[in-house]
Amino acid sequence: MQRALEFVPPLSAAQPSLGWQTLIDLHDCETPHLDDVTWVRAAMLEAAVRAEATIVGERFHRFEPHGISGIVMIGESHLAVHIWPERKFAAIDVFTCNSALKTKAAAAYLTNMFAATCAKTLCFKRGEDTGEAVTDSATVPPGVVAMGPETGAGCDELYIDTDTESEGHWFVSRGTIAQRQTAFQKAEIVDLAAYGKALVLDGDMQSFESDEYMYHEALVQPAMCLHAAPRRVLIIGGGEGAVAREVLKHRSVERAVMVDIDGEVVALAREHLAGWHCGAFDDPRLSLIVGDGHAFVQSATEQFDVVVIDLVSSFDGGPAEALYTRDFYRCLKSRLSPGGVLVIQSMECHAGTWRDHARVRNNLAGLFAHMRSYQLFVPSYGCPWGFVIVSDEADPQAALPSAIDGVIEARGLREGLRFYDGRTHQGLFALPKDLRLLLGAA
């Protein structure tokens, strides 16, 4: 089962397009409000707001005995809906002549509000002169991958992780293992043919069974190995339990505190992602707190040797954004013991996409004696991923491979690490020239 299915045709070298059209089919909607025109109107208007569209009008109508049609007119075009309550189905059409609108945010909001079990999305350009015409529903537009019985894959077997309106990654899915609408997000665990299990939050892929060890070792181990004797560790986020797993590999750790706002995601991980946490939730050294990481740090008096932040990427006004601010980092510094190390998941990081990473750096600038960016290519992400590590004592970039290997041997970690060692550490911090120039000028 899929959450979002998007086919994005390639850019045309002929006439530029007049706009983007997104068609969203919401199946098996569980909301009890499918025949409530007031509720539907409010949901569609809010979707337009979340898309950052300019609302200029609206009209909604309830049919007898049931069914609703409606349209929100926006300065950039429209959002329309038709609902068949008896089939628990809603068809939504979003057209915009402004590619900067956040149509993905609108689609995710409506999927969650309608509590759709399955959401299928078709996204394409309108008015683009390609020299070829689409005349009926059986015609496959140029550049669109045809998926059906003749290809061995039905549409319900595709899971699309959309980055922007013009880019995304598709995965063949073998089905949904579990899903839950929590108080904060829609959480899913899907089974992908190429990468195994994957955790998905609000339609965004988080980590994959086949290569999560690369990401989590790269996030945790440089900070842990840079500290001379990490005994107390704070983890903010990391609901899968894999960050805790990496931290607890160090026998010197006496206490690890993990704070995650979404206990239901943690519960899903405990049940279905044993390969991620490897029993870390049952380690007596781990104290799990379900709550707001920002509030915890503000009220805590305990000092920590290492702090690891593994939150969803967020500069979109969501609840996690408060944990990417300079004020929060300043407060975190007061929770670090002398010689402490802080490391932060800092989003996609390469010459094509680097501005969010730079914002993390800018919010940390001047707070610590040493600040370094590092990155690794995660195969399932299809791009390099970035981290920022800071400390007043240790410069991570100056650590020699032999020194890192010595720490790994002394702590008995060599057999337990699949990705990280001294040479890997050195490579992580060897950023390419174009990215160094961009980050240096930001």
Q: Is residue 322, in this structure, part of any structural domain at all?
A: yes
Q: What is the pLDDT of residue 1?
A: 33
Does the pLDDT at position 292 exceed 60? yes
Amino acid sitting at position 296:
F
Does 112 or 98 have the greater pLDDT score? 112
Instruction: Quote the CA–CA distance of 373 and 350 in Å, as a whole number.
Output: 11
Query: How much is the average pLDDT of 59-68?
Result: 94
Query: How much is the average pLDDT of 275-299?
Result: 97
Q: What is the pLDDT of residue 282?
A: 97
The beta strand positions in 154-231, using DSSP E, are: 158-164, 167-181, 186-192, 196-201, 204-208
In terms of Cβ atoms closer than 10 Å to its own Cβ (0-12, 13-18, 19+), residue 366 is exposed
Name the average pLDDT for the chain: 87
In terms of Cβ atoms closer than 10 Å to its own Cβ (0-12, 13-18, 19+), residue 67 is middle
Residue 395 bears catalytic tag: no
pLDDT tens per residue, range 243-257 = 999 999 999 999 999
The beta strand positions in 212-303, using DSSP E, are: 232-237, 255-260, 286-290
Query: How much is the average pLDDT of 110-119?
Result: 87
Query: How much is the average pLDDT of 250-278?
Result: 97
Residues 420 and 302 grouped into a single domain: yes
Predicted confidence band of residue 15 (pLDDT cuts 50, 70, 90): low
Q: Is residue 11, in this structure, part of any structural domain at all?
A: no
H/E stretch holding 339: strand 336-348
Q: What is the pLDDT of residue 103?
A: 82
Residues 234 and 159 grouped into a single domain: no
pLDDT tens per residue, range 344-371 = 999 999 999 999 999 999 999 999 999 9
Does the pLDDT at position 439 exceed 80? yes
Residues 87 and 70 grouped into a single domain: yes
pLDDT tens per residue, range 362-395 = 999 999 999 999 999 999 999 999 999 999 998 9
pLDDT tens per residue, range 116-144 = 888 887 777 777 655 443 333 333 333 33
At which of 207, 239, 272 does a domain end? 207
User: Are the CB atoms for 77 and 19 separated by under 8 Å?
Assistant: yes
Predicted TM-score (pTM) of the model is 0.69
Residues 175 and 228 grouped into a single domain: no
Adjacency order of strands within the sheet including 68-74: 55-62, 68-74, 77-84, 89-96, 19-29, 116-126
At which of 173, 207, 241 does a domain end? 207
Give the CATH number, domain containing residue 162.
3.60.90.10
State the alpha helices, DSSP H only, in 123-252.
212-226, 242-247
Q: Is residue 9, in this structure, part of any structural domain at all?
A: no
Residues 104 and 167 grouped into a single domain: yes
Active-site option among 310, 327, 392, 405: 310
User: Are the CB atoms for 393 and 399 separated by under 8 Å?
Assistant: no
Instruction: Quote the CA–CA distance of 343 and 386 in Å, as a whole number.
Output: 11
Q: What's the token pair of residue 26?
A: 């919401």
Adjacency order of strands within the sheet including 186-192: 158-164, 167-181, 186-192, 196-201, 204-208
Residues 148 and 294 grouped into a single domain: no
User: Are the CB atoms for 345 and 239 separated by under 8 Å?
Assistant: no
Does the pLDDT at position 147 exceed 60? no
Most confident region among 132-136, 181-185, 424-428 by mean pLDDT? 424-428
Does the pLDDT at position 164 exceed 80? no
Q: What is the pLDDT of residue 135?
A: 34
Predicted confidence band of residue 16 (pLDDT cuts 50, 70, 90): low
**Domain total in the chain:** 2
Instruction: Quote the CA–CA distance of 169 and 279 in Å, as a whole number.
Output: 31
Rounded to 5 degrees, φ, ψ at 192 are: -100, 140
Instruction: Quote the CA–CA distance of 306 and 13 in Å, as a whole number.
Output: 51
Q: Is residue 7, in this structure, part of any structural domain at all?
A: no
The residue range of the domain holding 173 is 19-207
Give the CATH number, domain containing residue 234.
3.40.50.150
Q: What is the pLDDT of residue 218?
A: 98
In the chain, % helix, strand, coil (3-state, to 5) comes to 30, 35, 35
Residues 118 and 216 grouped into a single domain: no
Q: What is the pLDDT of residue 88?
A: 93
Query: How much is the average pLDDT of 318-339?
Result: 91
Does the pLDDT at position 163 exceed 80? no
Q: Is residue 27, in this structure, part of any structural domain at all?
A: yes
Amino acid sitting at position 40:
V
Cα distance from N-terminal residue to C-terminal residue, the chain? 42
At which of 186, 207, 228 does a domain end? 207
Instruction: Quote the CA–CA distance of 97 and 126 in Å, as a whole number.
Output: 9
Q: Is residue 140, in this structure, part of any structural domain at all?
A: yes
Q: Which residues contact 269 (CB under 8 A, 6 or more apart)?
A: 199, 239, 240, 241, 276, 277
Residues 290 and 385 grouped into a single domain: yes
Does the pLDDT at position 87 exceed 80? yes
Q: What is the pLDDT of residue 99?
A: 65
Predicted confidence band of residue 17 (pLDDT cuts 50, 70, 90): low
Chain mean position to CA 306:
24
Residues 293 and 434 grouped into a single domain: yes
Rounded to 5 degrees, φ, ψ at 299 are: -95, -15
Residues 100 and 232 grouped into a single domain: no
Residues 169 and 313 grouped into a single domain: no
Residues 156 and 229 grouped into a single domain: no
Does 166 or 176 have the greater pLDDT score? 176
C-beta atoms surrounding 118 within 10 Å: 17
25-39, 102-116, 189-203: the lowest-pLDDT one: 102-116
Rounded to 5 degrees, φ, ψ at 35 are: -110, 20
Q: Is residue 92, in this structure, part of any structural domain at all?
A: yes
Q: Is residue 2, in this structure, part of any structural domain at all?
A: no
Q: What is the pLDDT of residue 148?
A: 38
